[in-house]
Amino acid sequence: MNVPAGDAGRSSAEGGSSFRLRDLSDAGTYVVDDAGRIVGVNPRAEQMLDRAASTLLGLDAHDMLHRGKYGEPLPRSRCVMRQALIAGETRQSHHEWVERGDGSLMAVSLMVTPCRIGEGGEGALVLFHEDSSPAPVEGERGPSASSMPELDRLALLAETTATLTSSLDVDETVRQLIRLVVPLLADWAVVDLLTEEGGVSRAAVVHYENGVRVHRRNLEGPMPPVPQESSMPLSRALRGVTPALVGPQDYQGPPDSDIAVAQRELFEETGMHSASIAPIRGVREVVGALTLGRSERSSAFTPADLLLVEDIARRAGLALDNARLYERQRRVAETMQRHLLPTLPRVPGLQMSARYLPAPDASQVGGDWYDAFILSGGVTGLVIGDVVGHDLDAAAGMAQVCNMLRAYAGEVEEPPSMIVNRLDEAVVRMAETTMATVIFARVEQPDDTWRLRWTNAGHPPPLLVERDGRTRFLEDGSGLLLGTGLSPVREDAAAELPPGSLLLLYTDGLIESPGHSLDDGLARLARYAASLVDRPFSAICDALLTGVRPSDNDDDVAMLALRIPG
């Protein structure tokens, strides 16, 4: 079957030919490529799935839509679409389930047939309609490890490993863990984590309600400490002793600790009649505990269930341990970088302000820095720079480059270009290969006029905002970045700084965005800075960070601002 280009549907393909689907009768229709990514959707499918085509195109159809009858992620081994793609033949199935945009489930019958898409591309056409008589749910019993086929059990464990190790963020790892086990194994999921200070935090309490996972924020937060002598199941799990099958009856007697009281209140609040509690173990130590509970379904957890929960918790522990180690290293690098940034000097008549903003979560620390210091003759030296890279090496390289530039600038009175040439030669000789962009400038007042002399080694140009709001980027004096080994000829540039004007030096994290061009970022900065020229100087840097820095930028930002008196 070949799906040609047409004009009666909605479609798009990442890296492939685009085409449009005709509305086939009353069936929802979508097309996937050979990787299972959705490349075309008809209007009826949008309506049935309660999802706009723009939210589906380019995404994996199995991960996005296919579910088991309890809303659990469906192992790929049971995916009819994947079977048709792999076998290269048409497959039909009844009583399948898909997740709609609002989180609810819809039973469907579907047919999947291989087809050609665009010119030479392979894929599959999926036609589906709502099944008015879905397969009956067997009593109230949900799937458990004892009833789960071995292939599905292995698929769940494999998905757990792949999913949890894909993130180095603790909160995201916890969120993915809950998605994997609720509602597949339980109606409730509770994650307790040991803090670095030795306390306990109830990081998540989630209940599956009407097809949606709901956080019970009132049950989350700090927990009482774990006494070493407590024999209660959660205390034992948090000490890494053993997993356990638990019910409310285990907490009916006199509590042996405050954390046992909190656990009894959890059972009363949630109505759980059966639970599995397993330690979450990292490589070196216990990270926390995972509690899975059942309140709606009547079946209790079995020993076979507990083995599966223990295995899942162990895999979660490795992922959380890695995420915590990453966050610890990130804090060390960020702290080191902050301590290396200077205290700005006091210069009569000049106002100076600086900011450093680390990269967002899940990004590594960078090598951005600013500096300002007094040179001979009352001249003020200004520096803004960025060492290439996003790791501890970048932060260490930043420290070396920053210190060398200070030393060269204060050693002899030379033009900025000569100072940066000497710095470039030193950077090339560093033990670790380092490349960096930098602006070194001198603010001088030979008479009643303030002037700026500078050289630019591959860095975004300074921005000058005059009192009346006029802006211009100081693009002269630009040359090659440091560390290339090419010994470029560098030039100096000079400009008058009018009374009341604002000079802004910044790193590319303030203006760059994956979704916009660099010119767009520079134009945004100029417009916003012009609107702030009359603001109190102390508020300008914070306002620029808030109003200019793109929300999708994953880089850190350094900024140095200077206001000329007048």
pLDDT tens profile 382-409: 999 998 876 667 777 888 898 999 999 9
Structural contact between residues 28 and 40, judged by C-beta atoms closer than 8 angstroms: no
Residue 215: predicted pLDDT:
94
- Domain locations in the chain as residue ranges: 2-130, 150-330, 341-563
Residue 504: predicted pLDDT:
97
Residue 1: predicted pLDDT:
59
> Which parts of the chain sit beneath pLDDT 50?
4-9, 11-19, 22-23, 136-147, 362-363
Structural contact between residues 213 and 182, judged by C-beta atoms closer than 8 angstroms: yes
Q: In the beta sheet, which residues pair with residue 382?
A: 372, 441
3-state SS, residue 450? strand
Residue 366: predicted pLDDT:
64
Tokens of 5: 């280009």
CATH of the domain spanning 341-563: 3.60.40.10
Length of the chain: 566
3-state SS, residue 234? helix
User: Domain 2-130 falls in which CATH fold?
Assistant: Beta-Lactamase (3.30.450)
Tokens of 440: 């070194």
Residue 305: predicted pLDDT:
84
Structural contact between residues 555 and 363, judged by C-beta atoms closer than 8 angstroms: yes
**Could you tell me which of 184, 166, 164 has the C-alpha nearest to residue 174?**
164
Residue 511: predicted pLDDT:
94
Residue 477: predicted pLDDT:
96
Other Cβ atoms within 10 Å of 175 Cβ, number: 18
Counting beta carbons within 10 angstroms of the beta carbon of residue 402, is it exposed (0 to 12), middle (13 to 18) or buried (19 or more)?
Answer: buried
Domains 2-130 and 150-330 agree in fold: yes
Q: How far apart are CA 139 and CA 365, in angstroms?
A: 53
Q: How far apart are CA 459 and CA 480, in angstroms?
A: 9
Which residues, other chains included, contact 233 with Cβ-Cβ below 8 Å and sequence gap of 6+? 244, 246, 250, 263, 277
Residue 542: predicted pLDDT:
92
Q: Which amino acid is at 292?
A: L
C-alpha angle 158-161-166 in degrees, rounded to nearest 5: 130
Residue 16: predicted pLDDT:
42
Q: How far apart are CA 199 and CA 422, in angstroms?
A: 52
Helix (H) or strand (E) holding 493: strand 493-497
Residue 17: predicted pLDDT:
42
Residue 188: predicted pLDDT:
96
Q: How far apart are CA 255 and CA 262, in angstroms?
A: 10
**Could you tell me which of 34, 79, 27 has the C-alpha nearest to residue 48?**
27
CATH class of the 150-330 domain in this structure: alpha beta
